[in-house]
């Protein structure tokens, strides 16, 4: 259960357990007993708290692609529920209390959404969800809950995501000359890796579960190269030849990848350069589906919000709120919950 907390003085809040509250009747990415609506911004595990409870007791709202990914990964029974509402980006959806909900692309992974809610009193509130950069459009709201993953002013990358993608491709080409290449990334990022590797002529291999997810991406319009199932005849043949790229994401056992080739972890870490090299067989590439600090500030400015609650669930909310107050003194900014 969520612990009672002192309320903020506005219409948006973040309660313990990352309960993002928009007005009195909508929560995002959480179960809350007194809220009839749950908006699901995307399918990463840290946003799925209480999902099974919500499917039984709340109306669920999400983008069609998020729905497709949930069906592929979690629960084949979802299509038969009438309390799940698939709302395309940019199409306003009226709730029964007179408020209106709008989802916009958050560029974090397939289906990820910014959530804007216009309350019956006309106040516009919103939640960024996890978001990448750049964005095609930024929601306009009066009050905002913003993800603070890279909310520290230390979190500035001095290279673009295009630089990171080019560096990844170059590194994979180079290391394939020495044997298999094992690439590890979060869901959402691993699909970007597949796109980047379209020019690779050696077989690309993945688990059956990841291949099922990739098929959802294709259904939603992404052009991706063929990926072989590691357990198939073609997969086993490629493995025996020793020239292939193997992809790993949540749920895939990595085994002893470095012993049989090169391991590349795709995760933003270094501020200065897109590739960090630990040894010939171990590298990290700064692919990230999260905005960095300055991009987060640009997002906040783009929303026009006059009150900003920084989601302090994973830390950095305090630094981000301080930076907002310093840069824009007219904006009221506060971290919630107060202790991460």
Options 25-33, 41-49, 51-59, 261-269: segment touching Zn ion (CB under 5 A) = 41-49
DSSP letters along 113-127, please?
EEEEEE-TTS-EEEE
CB of 243 or CB of 250, closer to Zn ion? 250
Q: In this structure, is the dihedral angle defined by the CA atoms of residues 73, 235, 243 and 223, taken in order, positive or negative?
A: negative
CB of 45 or CB of 174, closer to Zn ion? 45
CB of 244 or CB of 293, closer to Zn ion? 293
Q: Is 161 left (phi over 0), alpha (psi -120 to 50) or beta?
A: alpha
247 within 8 A of 210, measured Cβ to Cβ: yes
Query: Shortest gap between Cβ of 332 and Zn ion (angstroms)?
Result: 26
CB of 70 or CB of 172, closer to Zn ion? 70
d(CA 11, CA 7): 10
Options 39-47, 152-160, 234-242, 305-313: segment touching Zn ion (CB under 5 A) = 39-47
CB of 44 or CB of 336, closer to Zn ion? 44
Instruction: Write out the binding residues for Zn ion, residues 183-212 only, by CB under 5 A.
Output: none
Options 40-48, 76-84, 116-124, 221-229: segment touching Zn ion (CB under 5 A) = 40-48
CB of 23 or CB of 129, closer to Zn ion? 129
Options 4-12, 122-130, 154-162, 250-258: segment touching Zn ion (CB under 5 A) = 122-130
The residue count for the chain: 340
172 within 8 A of 182, measured Cβ to Cβ: no
Count of residues touching Zn ion (by CB under 5 A): 2
Q: In what order do the strands lie in the sheet with 245-248?
A: 228-229, 204-206, 245-248, 181-184, 262-266, 282-285, 275-279
Options 9-17, 129-137, 213-221, 240-248: segment touching Zn ion (CB under 5 A) = 129-137
38 binds Zn ion per the rule CB under 5 A? no
Query: Shortest gap between Cβ of 311 and Zn ion (angstroms)?
Result: 12
DSSP class of residue 12 equals E
18 binds Zn ion per the rule CB under 5 A? no
Options 27-35, 123-131, 156-164, 203-211: segment touching Zn ion (CB under 5 A) = 123-131
Query: Shortest gap between Cβ of 226 and Zn ion (angstroms)?
Result: 27
44 binds Zn ion per the rule CB under 5 A? yes
201: burial class by Cβ within 10 Å (0-12, 13-18, 19+)?
exposed
Query: Shortest gap between Cβ of 188 and Zn ion (angstroms)?
Result: 7
Distance of CA 56 to the CA centre of its chain: 25
Options 1-9, 36-44, 143-151, 160-168: segment touching Zn ion (CB under 5 A) = 36-44
Query: Shortest gap between Cβ of 313 and Zn ion (angstroms)?
Result: 12
Six token digits for residue 74:
């979690």
Query: Shortest gap between Cβ of 108 and Zn ion (angstroms)?
Result: 6
SS3 letters across 160-171: CHHHHHHHHHHH
* Alpha helix segments (H runs only) across 157-220: 161-176, 189-196, 208-219
Q: What is the dihedral of CA 175, 185, 320, 160, to 10 degrees?
A: 40
Phi, psi angle pair for 67, to nearest 5°:
-60, -50
In the list 130, 228, 292, 334, the residue contacting Zn ion (rule: CB under 5 A) is 130
228 binds Zn ion per the rule CB under 5 A? no
Neighbours of 48 (CB within 10 A): 16
124 binds Zn ion per the rule CB under 5 A? no
Given the rule CB under 5 A, which residues bind Zn ion? 44, 130
């Amino acid at each position: 259960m969520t612990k009672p907390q002192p309320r903020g003085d506005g219409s948006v809040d973040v309660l313990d357990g990352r309960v993002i509250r928009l007005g009195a009747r909508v929560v995002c990415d959480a179960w809350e007993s007194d809220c009839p609506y749950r908006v699901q911004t995307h399918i990463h595990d840290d946003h799925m708290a209480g999902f099974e409870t919500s499917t039984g007791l709340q109306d669920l709202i999400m983008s069609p692609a998020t729905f497709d990914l949930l069906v592929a990964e979690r629960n084949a029974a979802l299509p038969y529920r009438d309390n799940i509402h698939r709302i395309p980006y940019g199409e306003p959806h009226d709730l029964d209390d007179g408020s209106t909900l709008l989802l916009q692309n958050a560029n974090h992974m397939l289906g990820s959404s910014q959530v804007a809610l216009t309350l019956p009193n006309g106040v516009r509130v919103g939640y960024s969800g996890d978001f990448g950069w750049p964005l095609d459009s930024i929601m306009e709201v009066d009050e905002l809950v913003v993800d603070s993953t890279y909310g520290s002013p230390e979190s500035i990358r001095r290279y673009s995501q295009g630089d990171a993608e080019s560096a990844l491709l170059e590194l994979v080409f180079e290391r394939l000359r020495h044997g298999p290449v094992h690439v590890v990334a979060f869901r959402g990022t691993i699909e970007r890796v597949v796109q980047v590797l379209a020019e690779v002529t050696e077989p690309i291999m993945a688990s059956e579960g990841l291949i099922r997810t990739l098929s959802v991406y294709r259904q939603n319009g992404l052009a991706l190269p063929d990926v072989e199932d590691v357990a198939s005849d073609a997969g086993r043949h490629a493995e025996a030849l020793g020239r292939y790229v193997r992809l790993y994401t949540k749920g895939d056992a990595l085994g002893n990848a470095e012993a049989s080739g090169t391991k590349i972890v795709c995760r933003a870490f270094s501020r200065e350069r897109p590739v960090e090299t630990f040894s010939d067989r171990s590298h990290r590439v700064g692919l990230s589906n999260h905005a960095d600090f300055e991009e987060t500030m640009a997002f906040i400015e783009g929303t026009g919000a006059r009150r900003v609650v920084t989601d302090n669930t994973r830390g950095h909310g305090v630094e981000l709120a301080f930076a907002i107050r310093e840069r824009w003194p007219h904006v009221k900014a506060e971290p919630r919950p107060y202790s991460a």
